[in-house]
C-alpha cells in the first residue's frame, strides 16, 4: 500500500495502527540486513505511540490523512529519545532531548516514527557510503549505491520496509537517491519547512523534504510538515505562515493545457548516459502529450554550478562543524593529554575522510588570503544563478531536467575520486543555490534494470504546480509502481 492507502485502511478498521507498525518493524528486521537502510529502530516507542493514535481514531478524531502511518526519519533530524548520530562516530550515542519541528508536526498528525535511516556522514556525500555504519545498498542491485545523502530513506521506501520517509536535501540529497532507487521525492522551497532540529551541514542550502512511493504520498506529508515554526525564533528562515494545501483527489487530475515547460538542451549534450537521456526525454514527451508545451533553452552558468556550490557548502560546513570539538558533547579521544590534543585527536578520530575533506576545503576558502578569491566570488555567482532562474520562470511554468547523469554505480567506484562524485550533482545543486522547489520522479529503467529519474523544477513556493504536473505524469505511467524483488 501507499501511505495514503495504508491510512485509509486503518481508518476503515481493516487493520489496526499497532498491526501496521508491527508489520513494518518485522519487515525491517527481516530485510534490513541486506540493504543497511536503518541506523536505529524504535520498536517499543513506536508501538506505544500506535496505541495512543488508535485511541484517538477510535474516539472519532479526524487527525490527518496520514494518521496511523509509520514513518522513517533520516538520521540528521532530531528525534527525542532516539539516537540521532548523523551516521557519524562523532555523534555516536547522542540521544536528543527534543524533537525537530517536523517531528512535532508529524506526531500531531498521528504518524509514528519507527526508526532512523542511514546516510552519508553529516549528509556529506552522494552515495550513502561515508556513514560510520557502512554503506546503504540499492534494493535494485545490492552491489550498487543507493545515492546520497538520503540513501537510507530512499532504499527503505524502494524495498517496502517503510511506507514513507523524511530526508534532507542540500544539493540533491533527496532527489538523487530517489532517482537511483526508483521512488518519488520533493525538495521544498527554502523556507517552506522549519529546519529547527535538522543537524546542519550547510545552513543556507539544507531543506527537509519528503520521500514516498508516489507524488501523492509526498504531497500529503509536505502538507503536514510545511508552514510556520510554532515557536518564534526557532527557525527565522521558515517564512511561510500557513502549510501548503494540495488537492489530492484522484478524480481531479487535470491535463497540462497551457503549461509551458523549459528543457535545458545543454544538459543533454555531453556527460549524460544515453539511456538516461532517452528516458528523461521520453518523460518530456509524455508531459507534452498531456497538454504541456515543451521548449528547449540553454541553461546559463552551467560551468560554475558545481564550483559555486561546493565552495559555499564546504565553507558553511566548516563553520557548522566547528562545534564538535571533543569538549561539549560528541566523541572525545581518550588519547588527548592537552587541550590542543583533545581538539585535534577528537576531530581526527571522530570525523570520516569525506567530512574532513570538506572541512579543510571550507576552512581554506574562508581564510583571509583566499576569502575574496573564492568564497566571495561563489556568493556573487550564486546571485547570478538566482537571477538566471528568475528570468527563466518569467518564460516557463517549470523546468524539466535529469536528476543525475547516470544510474546507480557500483559501491566503491567513486570513493577515491571525489571530483567525479561531485560532478554527479551537476543537475541538482543549482536548485539549492537558488532556494527553489523540485520534485523527483521515476521515468524508466536502463538495460541493467536500474531506475532512472527526472525532476521538475519550479519557482519559489510553486510546489502545487509541480505536484499537479507530477500527478498527471504518474497517472499516465507506471514507473513508480515497479518494485525490486527479494524483500518481504
User: Cell numbers of 245, please?
Assistant: 494545501
CA proximity to 275, closest of 80, 405, 170, 433: 405
How is 332-348 classified by DSSP, letter by letter? --TT--SHHHHHHHHHH
Active site annotation includes 149: yes
Q: To 10 degrees, the CA torsion angle through 428, 433, 435, 436?
A: -30
User: Cell numbers of 71, please?
Assistant: 514513518
Q: How far apart are CA 361 and CA 368, in angstroms?
A: 14
CA proximity to 207, closest of 487, 466, 461, 464: 461
User: Cell numbers of 291, please?
Assistant: 497538454
How is 461-479 classified by DSSP, letter by letter? T-HHHHHHHHHHHHHH--G
CA proximity to 209, closest of 77, 115, 80, 116: 77
* Catalytic residue (choose from 74, 89, 105, 116): 74
Partners of 210 in the beta sheet? 166, 186
Q: How far apart are CA 160 and CA 199, in angstroms?
A: 27
Length, in residues, of the chain: 488
Active site annotation includes 226: no
Q: Do 126 and 147 form a contact (C-beta atoms < 8 A)?
A: yes
Beta strands in 389-487 (DSSP E): 398-402, 438-445, 451-457
* Catalytic residue (choose from 16, 64, 88, 173): 173
Judged on CB neighbours under 10 Å (0-12, 13-18, 19+), 462 is middle
How is 169-236 classified by DSSP, letter by letter? ESSSTTHHHHHHHT-EEEEPPTTSB--TTBPPSSTTT-EEEEEESSHHHHHHHHHHHBS--SSTTS-T
Partners of 456 in the beta sheet? 400, 439
Active site annotation includes 30: no
* Catalytic residue (choose from 149, 153, 226, 318): 149
Q: How far apart are CA 140 and CA 144, in angstroms?
A: 8
Which letter does DSSP use for residue 77 in this model? B
What are the residue numbers of the active site? 74, 149, 173
Amino acid at each position: 500500500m501507499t501511505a495514503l492507502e495504508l491510512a485509509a485502511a486503518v481508518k476503515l478498521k481493516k487493520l489496526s495502527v499497532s498491526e501496521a507498525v508491527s508489520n513494518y518493524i518485522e519487515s525491517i528486521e527481516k530485510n534490513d540486513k541486506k540493504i543497511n537502510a536503518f541506523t536505529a529502530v524504535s520498536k517499543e516507542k513506536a508501538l506505544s505511540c500506535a496505541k495512543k493514535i488508535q485511541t484517538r481514531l477510535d474516539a472519532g478524531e479526524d487527525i490527518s490523512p496520514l494518521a496511523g502511518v509509520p514513518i522513517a526519519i533520516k538520521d540528521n533530524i532530531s528525534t527525542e529519545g532516539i539516537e540521532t548520530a548523523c551516521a557519524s562516530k562523532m555523534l555516536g550515542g547522542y540521544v536528543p532531548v527534543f524533537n525537530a519541528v517536523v517531528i512535532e508536526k508529524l506526531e500531531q498528525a498521528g504518524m509514528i516514527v519507527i526508526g532512523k535511516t542511514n546516510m552519508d556522514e553529516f549528509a556529506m556525500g552522494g552515495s550513502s557510503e561515508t556513514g560510520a555504519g557502512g554503506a546503504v545498498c540499492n534494493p535494485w542491485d545490492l552491489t550498487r549505491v543507493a545515492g546520497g545523502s538520503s540513501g537510507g530513506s530512499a532504499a527503505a521506501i524502494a524495498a517496502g520496509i517503510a511506507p514513507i520517509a523524511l530526508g534532507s536535501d542540500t544539493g540533491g540529497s533527496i532527489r538523487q537517491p530517489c532517482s537511483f532507487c526508483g521512488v518519488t521525492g520533493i525538495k521544498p522551497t527554502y523556507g517552506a519547512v522549519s529546519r529547527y532540529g535538522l543537524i546542519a551541514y550547510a545552513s543556507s542550502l539544507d531543506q527537509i523534504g519528503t520521500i514516498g512511493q508516489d507524488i501523492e504520498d509526498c504531497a500529503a506529508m509536505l502538507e503536514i510538515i510545511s508552514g510556520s515554526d510554532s515557536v518564534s525564533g526557532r527557525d527565522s528562515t521558515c517564512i511561510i505562515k500557513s502549510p501548503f494545501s494540495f488537492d489530492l483527489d484522484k478524480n481531479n487530475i487535470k491535463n497540462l493545457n497551457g503549461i509551458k515547460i523549459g528543457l535545458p538542451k545543454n544538459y543533454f549534450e555531453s556527460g549524460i548516459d544515453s539511456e538516461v537521456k532517452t528516458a528523461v526525454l521520453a518523460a518530456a514527451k509524455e508531459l507534452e502529450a498531456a497538454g504541456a508545451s515543451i521548449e528547449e533553452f540553454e541553461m546559463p552558468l552551467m560551468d560554475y554550478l558545481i564550483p559555486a556550490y561546493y565552495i559555499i557548502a564546504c565553507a558553511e560546513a566548516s563553520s557548522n562543524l566547528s562545534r564538535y570539538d571533543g569538549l561539549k558533547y560528541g566523541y572525545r579521544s581518550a588519547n588527548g593529554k592537552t587541550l590542543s590534543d583533545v581538539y585535534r585527536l577528537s576531530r581526527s578520530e571522530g570525523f570520516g575522510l569525506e567530512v574532513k575533506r570538506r572541512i579543510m576545503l571550507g576552512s581554506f576558502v574562508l581564510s583571509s588570503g583566499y576569502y575574496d578569491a573564492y568564497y566571495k566570488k561563489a556568493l556573487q555567482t550564486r546571485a547570478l544563478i538566482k537571477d538566471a532562474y528568475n528570468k527563466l520562470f518569467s518564460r516557463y511554468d517549470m523546468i524539466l531536467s535529469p536528476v543525475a547523469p547516470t544510474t546507480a554505480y557500483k559501491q566503491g567506484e567513486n570513493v577515491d575520486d571525489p571530483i567525479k562524485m561531485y560532478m554527479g550533482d551537476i543537475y541538482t545543486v543549482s536548485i539549492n543555490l537558488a532556494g527553489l522547489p523540485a520534485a523527483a520522479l521515476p521515468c524508466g529503467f536502463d538495460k541493467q534494470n536500474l531506475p532512472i529519474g527526472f525532476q521538475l523544477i519550479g519557482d519559489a513556493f510553486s510546489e502545487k504546480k509541480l505536484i499537479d504536473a507530477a500527478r498527471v505524469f504518474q497517472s499516465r505511467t507506471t514507473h513508480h509502481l515497479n518494485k525490486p524483488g527479494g524483500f518481504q
